[in-house]
Structure formats: C-alpha cells, structure tokens
Amino acid sequence: MTYFISGGAKNGKSTLAQDLTVALAKGGKHYYVATMISTGEEDDDRIRRHIADRDGMGFETVECSKNVMSCLEVADKDGTFLVDSATALLQNALFPVEKNYEMDMEAAHRCADELIRFAKTVRHAVIVSDYIYSDAERYSESTEMYRKCLADIDRRLAAVCDAVIEVSAGQLTIHKGDLCI
C-alpha cells in the first residue's frame, strides 16, 4: 500500500504520515527516511521537533538526503517506509551543495524517477510532499523551476500511489483511495 500526502507547511502532514506508517506496519519494521539537509537553526529546530514527535513510535531512522533507493541498502524493502519529504529530496537534488547550489536538472529528473521506483518497490510507503506551487506569486527563475519540478513529482506520485491525501489546516481531503486508520 502506498500513500501520497501533500499539503501546506505545518498542517499536520507529518503527524498523519507517522500514524499511517505505524498502522501499515502492524507491529513490523517501519522506517523514517530522513531527507532534510540542515542549512541552519530553523532546520535544526524542525528536525528536533520531528524526532520528538515520533519518539516512542518504533521508527528506525534512515538518513537519506539523495537517491531514495539507497536507503534499501540498510532497510528491508518489505518494511514500511515514511519518506519525509519529496520536497527535501528534490531540493537536495536540484540544488546540490557540492555544486555550490547550481541547479542540476538531470538530478531533479532522477529524483522523480527514483521516488516513483521506490513507491513501486517497497511493500508499504507513505510519501510526504509540500504543496508549494499553487499561489499566484512570481518567484525567481530557479524557484519557479523548483516549484514546477515538485508539481511534476507530485502528479507522478499521485498517479502511482494507492491513496492520495491533501492536508490543509488540519483537515483531510482524500482524493484517491482510503485511510487505513
């Protein structure tokens, strides 16, 4: 079973994703695929908050800031995975630190393909993404490209996942499939 969860920042996506992952695991192995590369204190605070939120839930954390398939080198593909988030994976691929944050479109396309392959490979996955591409604001060329790439990833994930859920202001809209909890 695969779930795709999207929505705005701080709307309850991660909490829902954690609960879904635990329910899907049914007491079995479940992994938190940590994707964020911290760039400062705000990111560090967010990471600490996410760690505290899942404390006691039995997650095994797998650090994977790029190439999501690589987490299967240390995790059992028959487990249940929470990938948090597609947004960070894309950011890490599109603007790699090792290339001084120069846009790498090939890496962005690989990121999308890997996420789709991951969703099709593992037994259960819950993939979280941020809905950042629907406002009317105009941004820099690189930000617009990031938004466009994320929208593409989200459309592709929505097509292959069994369930698609949007979280807005703590309210759930199920666009496809059902909740297992």
Instruction: Report the percent of the chain where pLDDT is more than 90.
Output: 71
Nearest to 65 by CA among 43, 80, 45: 43
Contact 132, 143 (CB under 8 A): no
Poorest-confidence range of 9-23, 90-104, 155-169?
Answer: 90-104
Distance of alpha carbon 36 from alpha carbon 65, whole angstroms: 6
Whether 181 shows a pLDDT value over 80: the answer reads no
**What pLDDT sits at residue 59?**
97
Query: Is this structure's pTM higher than 0.85?
Result: yes
The domain limits of the chain are 2-176
Whether 160 shows a pLDDT value over 80: the answer reads yes
Alpha helix positions (H), the chain: 13-25, 41-53, 86-94, 105-121, 141-160
**What pLDDT sits at residue 5?**
98
Mean pLDDT of the chain: 92
DSSP summary character for residue 135: S
Tell me the mean pLDDT in the region 28-51. 89
Kindly give the interhelix angle for 13-25 and 41-53, rounded to the nearest 10 degrees.
40
DSSP summary character for residue 123: S
Tokens coding 72:
């299967």
Determine the topology of domain 2-176 in CATH: Rossmann fold (3.40.50)
Neighbours of 8 (CB within 10 A): 15
Q: Tens digit of pLDDT for each residue in 85-115?
A: 999 999 999 998 777 778 888 988 999 999 9
**What pLDDT sits at residue 38?**
78
Tell me the mean pLDDT in the region 70-75. 96
Q: Look-up: residue for tokens 């049914």?
A: 26
For residue 51, name the pLDDT band (cuts at 50, 70, 90).
Answer: confident
For residue 30, name the pLDDT band (cuts at 50, 70, 90).
Answer: very high
Q: Tens digit of pLDDT for each residue in 73-91?
A: 999 999 999 999 999 999 9
The residue with greater pLDDT, 47 or 163, is 163
